[in-house]
Amino acid sequence: MKLSILLSTLSALSLPLLASTSPLTPNLSARAALKTCSINSQAVVNCRAGPSRGYSIVRTAQPEQRLGIECITDGEPIDAEKAWGYVPSWDCWLSIRWTDLGCKRALPTCT
C-alpha cells in the first residue's frame, strides 16, 4: 500500500517536469560557461529554432559578429559539419559550420 502511494506521488511530481522540458532546449539548470565564437562567413548567417534548416529563423548574425554559444548538438549537416551550437541569449541554434575553427573544440555537448 505504501509503495503504491509513493509511486503515485512520484508520478504526479514528474509529470509537470516532463511536460515543460523541450527536447531542443539544453538543460539550463546546469549552465555551462559560454564560449565566445565569431561568425566566419562573408554572408549573414541564420540562427534557427532548432538544429536544422527546416526550423524557423529566430535571428540573423552578421559576418564577424561574436556570439556566446553554450553547447553543441548534432543536427542537419551543413557542408559535412553536423554540429549546431545553442545561443542562449537568442534562444536559437547556429550551425557551427559558420563559426571560427576553435569554437567547436571548446564547447561541451548539450544535455
Let me know if residue 11 belongs to a domain. no
Let me know if residue 70 belongs to a domain. yes
Let me know if residue 96 belongs to a domain. yes
What average pLDDT does the structure give for the chain?
81
Let me know if residue 54 belongs to a domain. yes
CA distance 40 to 65: 8
DSSP of 67-95: EEE--EEEEEEETTEEEEEEETTTTEEEE
pLDDT of res. 106: 85
Give the three cell numbers for residue 56.
524557423
Q: Which residues of the chain have pLDDT under 50?
A: 1, 3-23, 29
Parent domain of 79: 30-111
User: For the domain that residue 80 is a member of, what is the CATH number?
Assistant: 2.30.30.40
Let me know if residue 65 belongs to a domain. yes
Let me know if residue 4 belongs to a domain. no
- pTM for this model (two decimals): 0.73
Let me know if residue 62 belongs to a domain. yes
Q: What tens digit of pLDDT does each residue of 58-82 get? A: 999 999 999 999 999 999 999 999 9
Q: Name the domain count of the chain.
A: 1
Give the three cell numbers for residue 18.
516532463
CA distance 10 to 37: 41
pLDDT of res. 35: 94
